[in-house]
Structure 1
Amino acid sequence: MNKIKIIGLILILTLLLTAATSESINVEEAPAYSWIQGSWVGDGFGGYSEELWSPPGLDGKVMGTYRHYNADSSLNFYEFFVLDEEGLYLKHFNPDMTGWEEKGDYLTFKMISFDDKTIELKGLKYEYLPPDSMNIYLKMKTKDGGVRTEVFHMKRK
């Protein structure tokens, strides 16, 4: 092969590789719940909360992390989660990164509905308050068999 054919082949391969790896979701194709992406801080569980949400990936899924600090600023726990049209899948971790759930287990919050301001899951609701606030409502079982709702007031960081 001569040099011109080799250079041409390299150029075509480079263009094909660039096109394949730079694919992204069109804004019109992004899930309605993509408003949640970004960095959020606020209260909850009597301490300080931080959440980070990625933009939707090529598969439309949004991944996130949560970190909770006690009132005395000591780290309490972490979470890792994935959100899609089916629901939210979540794992908890202690400050030393040991998991709360067994290795292959995770919590699931089944999707009820979502739109450009609300994500309603079974036991969990995210409510967007434009332009930079969000409330999170988490239903939790109490020791006496009842249910209480923990409310987190978050601001976009």
Structure 2
Amino acid sequence: MDPLPFLERQRSGRAALPWRETSPASGALKECFGGLERVRLQPSFFDSAGRKRRNARNGGTGWTWHLETLCCVRPEANVMIRALIAVTLALTAPAAAQNTRSLDGNVSPPASIDQLAWLAGSWVGTGMGAEVTETYSAPLGGRITGHFAMADGKGGVAFTEIVDYVPVGQSLAYRVRHFNPDMTGWEDQTGKPVVFPLVAIEKDRWFFDGMTIERTGPDALVMWVKITEKGTAKEVPFRLRRQR
């Protein structure tokens, strides 16, 4: 973001002209600057590369230019201005997108397996810094079945999965079992798959509990998986394209 359009204030003698607000941050900054005797914000203070220019009117007044605060203020006000701008930019910055959701005890929405028929085919891409491949069948017997493999970066396979999308009542769920290269299963002790019930469908996104499929094109998708490591949860994208 170019910092200069945030605010402009010009001086005429000792009387400041009105503010020209050009962003949501202007109101908060205006409140801060309102109590200062002499404040100037002029694009002419900076060149096209954002470097400070010398300004003859600054000589001998005790005022200093601060690119990070976008203003010319008394030195003792610098800390207050910097703190306010940091808070203002944090409040006006877009919130980080949430790509996965949790069912949280709610009821899964109605859905049909045919809504995911577009998954049929072989997909290749990357995820967690490795090459991955995934293949899905067309709907058969009310479900879609597939398998997944991730390369280990050494010419072998790190692990594989058997997956399916199945009807559960009037809704759907995604199920997966994981296997080591020797075909021993991660879920062998329970003999049960990991189940992700459907949470919501919004346009080209299918939210399962902790896993989301986002169709980004006719032959492109992103699968977001919520992974918890050492008590910290993060959303990991797997970006895939269908092979023709």
Q: TM-score normalized by structure 2? A: 0.49
Following superposition, the deviation at residue 30 of structure 1 comes to 5.9
- The equivalent position to 2:237 in structure 1, one of 139, 143, 151, is 151
Map of 1:68 onto structure 2: 150
Q: Counting strand residues as a fraction of each chain, which structure ranks higher?
A: 1
Structure 2 CA distance for partners of 1:76 and 1:126, relative to 1, 3 Å: same
1:8-47 correspondence runs (5 A) = 31-47=114-130
SS at match of 1:31: helix
Displacement of 1:104: 1.7
Tell me the distance in 1 between the aligned counterparts of 2:227 and 2:138.
Answer: 28
Q: Cα offset for 1:52? A: 0.3
| CA–CA separation in structure 2 for the residues paired with 1:151 and 1:73 | 22
Deviations 1:3-24 (A, max 9, x none): xxxxxxxxxxxxxxxxxxxxxx
Question: Would the alpha carbon gap of residues 152 and 30 (structure 1) be closer, same or farther in structure 2, given more than 3 Å must change?
Answer: closer
Assess if the C-alpha contact under 8 Å between 2:113 and 2:144 holds in 1. Answer: no
Shift in CA distance, 109/65, structure 1 to aligned 2, threshold 3 Å: same
The runs of 5 or more residues in structure 1 that have no matched partner are 1-28
* Larger RCO, structures 1/2 (Cα 8 Å, 6+ apart): 1
Which residue does the alignment assign to 1:123?
210
- Contact kept in structure 2, 1:43 and 1:152, CA below 8 Å: yes
Question: What CA distance in whole angstroms lies between the structure 2 residues aligned with 1:67 and 1:101?
Answer: 17
Match of 1:91 among 177, 180, 185: 177
Task: Tell me what 1:24 maps to.
Answer: none
CA contact under 8 A between 1:32 and 1:115: conserved in structure 2? Answer: no
8 A contact 1:38–1:156 mirrored in 2: yes
How many aligned residue pairs are there?
A: 127
Alignment gaps of 5+ in structure 2 = 1-111
Cα distance change of structure 1 residues 83 and 115 upon mapping to structure 2, 3 Å threshold:
farther
- TM-align CA RMSD: 1.7
Q: Is residue 112 of structure 1 aligned with residue 199 of structure 2? A: yes
Quick one: which amino acid aligns to residue 182 of structure 2?
D
Change (3 A) 1:109 1:75: same
Query: 1:82 maps to what in 2?
Result: 164
SS at match of 2:117: helix
2:224 aligned residue (137, 147, 150): 137
C-alpha distance in 1 between matches for 2:215 and 2:173: 17
- Counterpart CA distance in 1 for 2:113 and 2:152 is 35
